[in-house]
Structure 1
Amino acid sequence: MTKLRLGRIEDDKPVKVTIELPGAVHRDLARYADAHARETGIERPLPVERLIPPMLERFMASDRAFARRRSPSAV
């Protein structure tokens, strides 16, 4: 089985953000949470809202164009 891109999720001081998700995206996130729990060996899947921040972080880290713009040397 291919490993999921998302590894263990560390606790960090959260900042509250409210978003609306299409139902299909929420269902897929719930399925991902189930797979993530099985792969990382945690007892119960994390709530969907705990998955979104590390997913966004990983997405932005893998976006080369964003990384170039974010870099201090790009200013």
Structure 2
Amino acid sequence: MDFKPCNSCGTCPVGWDNFKNLTEAQIKEIDETRFEARYRAGEMIFKQGTPTPNAVFMADGLAKLYLETEEGKRVIIALIKP
């Protein structure tokens, strides 16, 4: 799938279902502060143990969710799809 950026979270075809429960003003506020990013294969989105101050929605691709052991090994615990 070749994802094309959306103009609004409220009308995005791959958007979060709960956006439908928000008012137009709330959607507008989200749209004014949202940011779209693309990641390359192998690039880290979040690091284990660090705070995550934002919500992230994946529109395309596949991500690995893994735990890093004390020895530094990465154990994949899930594959995440949009």
Same structural fold, with TM-score higher than 0.5 when normalized by the shorter chain: no
Structure with the largest fraction of helix: 1
Structure with the largest fraction of strand: 2
Normalising by structure 1, report the TM-score: 0.25
Q: Which structure has the greater CA radius of gyration?
A: 2
Normalising by structure 2, report the TM-score: 0.24
Does 1 or 2 have the higher relative contact order (CA < 8 Å, sep 6+)? Answer: 1
